[in-house]
Structure 1
Amino acid sequence: MTALHDIPQVQEAPSLHRRILADITDKIVSGEWPPGHRIPFEYELSAQYGCSRMTVNKALSQLAKAGLIERRRRSGSFVSQPKSQAAILEIHDIKTEVQALGLPYRYKLLGRTMRRATAGDRERLGLAGPSPVIALACRHFAGARPFCHEDRVISLAAVPEAEGEAFQASAPGPWLVDRVPWSVAEHRIRASGADASIAALLDIEAGAPCLVVERRTWSAEAPVTHVRFTYAGDSHMLVARFTP
C-alpha cells in the first residue's frame, strides 16, 4: 500500500485532485474506511466535490494504481486489503511491516506474567528445568485495525533484565534485539483457523484462516525467547530469497 506522497499528482485542476486524493487516502489510512469498504460512486463524489465525473474518475484511477483501492466493474470501488510482507530468514520488526504499508503503527500490551516455567513454556523454549520466565500477550495495530497478535515467553535465565521491564511503551521484540546478541533463530510457519479468542483479538470471524509464525532464538546456545505471531490469513505473506 502506498502513502499519499507516493501517489502521482495530475496537472490539471491540481487543487481539486489533491483534495479528493487526500480526503480518500486519509479515510483509508486512519481506518475510517476499512479494507472492503465501498468508496462512494463516481456520481456521488462528483456531487460532493462539485466537479465532473471525469475528474473523479481520474482521481480514483490514481488511487487504484497506487494500490489503495480496487475498482470492480459494475460493482464500484473498494478499499484494498493491505498485504504485509515479512522475510522468513530475518528477525523482522512488526512496526516496520506496518509502516511499509503506509499505515500508522500502534502497540498494546494485553498481559504480562512472571512465573516458573510451565511444561508448555519448557517445550516452547527448550528448557531443561522450571526456570523463571516472563509470558507476554500483545496486539499490534495497523491504523485502526488489529494487525497481529503476539504470544511470547522470555527466559529470565538468558535475559534477567527483562524482569524489570514493563513492556508498556515498547514491544518486546525490538527491546530484545537491542539487548541480546542472538546467535541462532528458528522459524516455524503454519496455517490455523481462528479460535474465538484470536478471532476477537484480530477482529475476524471465528474459524477464519490465520497465518501463524513461530520463532525461537538462542544466544550462545542458551534459549532466549519463543514468540508466536498470528495474522489474519488474507493480510500477510512471507517472502524468502535464496542464493546458491
Structure 2
Amino acid sequence: MTMTAEPSSLHQRILSDISEKILSGTWAPGHRIPFEHELTAEYSCSRMTVNKALSQLAKAGLIERRRRSGSFVRQPHSQAAILEIHDIRTEVEVTGLPYRYERVSRHKRRSNTEDRDLLGLETAGPVLALECRHFAGKRPFCQERRLINLTAVPEADEEEFFDISPSPWLVGRVPWNAAEHRIRAMAADQAIATALDIAVGAPCLVVERRTWNAEHPVTQVRFVYAAESHELVARFAPSQGT
C-alpha cells in the first residue's frame, strides 16, 4: 500500500516551494500563482491544505489574494529611515529578495553650474558623476545618480565602482559630520521609466542627500524609487511643548 504524505508535510512543502520561487525571483512581482484547484492536483492534496498555505503566504506579505482573480506575487515593500544613512543593500535585504548592484555610467569632469548648485560648491573643480541601479531579485529597486567632489575625496578618481556601490565606499573612507535630506514626489520620465522598468508617468519617490566633511561638500546623490514599493519612516521623541 502506498503511503501518502501527511497534510502538515504537504502544507510545508507547498509553502517552501512557492516561497523559494518568489524569493529567488523566479516568480516576479505580479506573477499569478497557480489556482487552488491546480495546486490541489499538483500536490495531490485537499483544497483546505492549499488554502491554508496560500493564506499563510499572504499573511507573510509574499502574495496578494484577489477575489475571483486568484493569487499574485506582491511587490516587495521596503522602508527607509529618513534620518539615517545606510546602504541600499540593507533596504533590499529587508524584503527577503537577493540584492544586486550595477554601475551604469561613470564620468569625470570639471563641475558645471548645475554640479556646483547640487553640491553647494563655490568654485569650479573636478567632480565624478555616477549612475547606478540597485536590484531586488530580478527587478530594478532604485536608480542612483551621484556627484562626488573629487577635491574632498581625491581617491574616488581611482575607483571604478564596478564591484562596490558608492555609498558604502564613501562611508568607509570619508567621515561626514552633516547631512541634508530632501524628499519629493515625481512622475517617471522616459529615462527613469527605462531604468526602473515602470511606465512613463508612474509615481516615484525621490530622496536627495548632501553630505559634508567639516565645511567641505563630499557628495550629492539622488535616489529614485517606484512609489508603490517604498516608504520613508521617521521616529522621534516629543519636545518639551505639546
**Could you tell me the TM-score, scaled by structure 2's length?**
0.93
Question: Residues 54-133 of structure 1 correspond to what in structure 2 (within 5 A)?
Answer: 54-133=48-127
Which residue does the alignment assign to 1:175?
A: 169
Deviation for aligned residue 1:160: 0.9
Unaligned runs of 5+ in 2: 1-5
Of 133, 138, 159, the residue aligned with 1:144 is: 138
Which residue does the alignment assign to 1:40?
A: 34
Of 209, 220, 224, the residue aligned with 1:215 is: 209
The answer to which of 29-38 and 75-84 deviates more is 29-38
Q: Secondary structure at the match of 2:228?
A: coil
Q: Secondary structure at the match of 1:234?
A: helix
**Counterpart residue identity of residue 70, structure 2:** G
**Counterpart residue identity of residue 174, structure 1:** P
CA distance in 2, matches of 1:23, 1:195: 38
Superposition misfits of 4+ residues, deviation over 3 angstroms: 12-15
Preserved CA contact (<8 Å) 2:62 2:73: yes
CA distance in 1, matches of 2:152, 2:125: 10
CA distance in 1, matches of 2:34, 2:165: 38
Of 3, 25, 40, the residue aligned with 1:31 is: 25
**Counterpart residue identity of residue 23, structure 1:** D
Identity of aligned residues (%): 70
CA distance in 2, matches of 1:209, 1:143: 21
1:51 aligns with 2:57: no
Deviation for aligned residue 1:132: 0.4
**Could you tell me the TM-score, scaled by structure 1's length?**
0.93
The answer to which of 47-56 and 231-240 deviates more is 47-56
CA distance in 2, matches of 1:194, 1:68: 26
Larger Rg: 2
Which residue does the alignment assign to 1:230?
A: 224
Q: Secondary structure at the match of 1:121?
A: helix
CA distance in 2, matches of 1:144, 1:71: 22
The root-mean-square deviation of aligned C-alpha atoms, in Å, is 1.1
Q: Secondary structure at the match of 1:130?
A: coil
CA deviations on 1:107-148 (whole Å, 9 max, x unpaired) are 000001111111111010011111101000000000000000
CA distance in 2, matches of 1:74, 1:153: 49
Preserved CA contact (<8 Å) 2:7 2:45: no
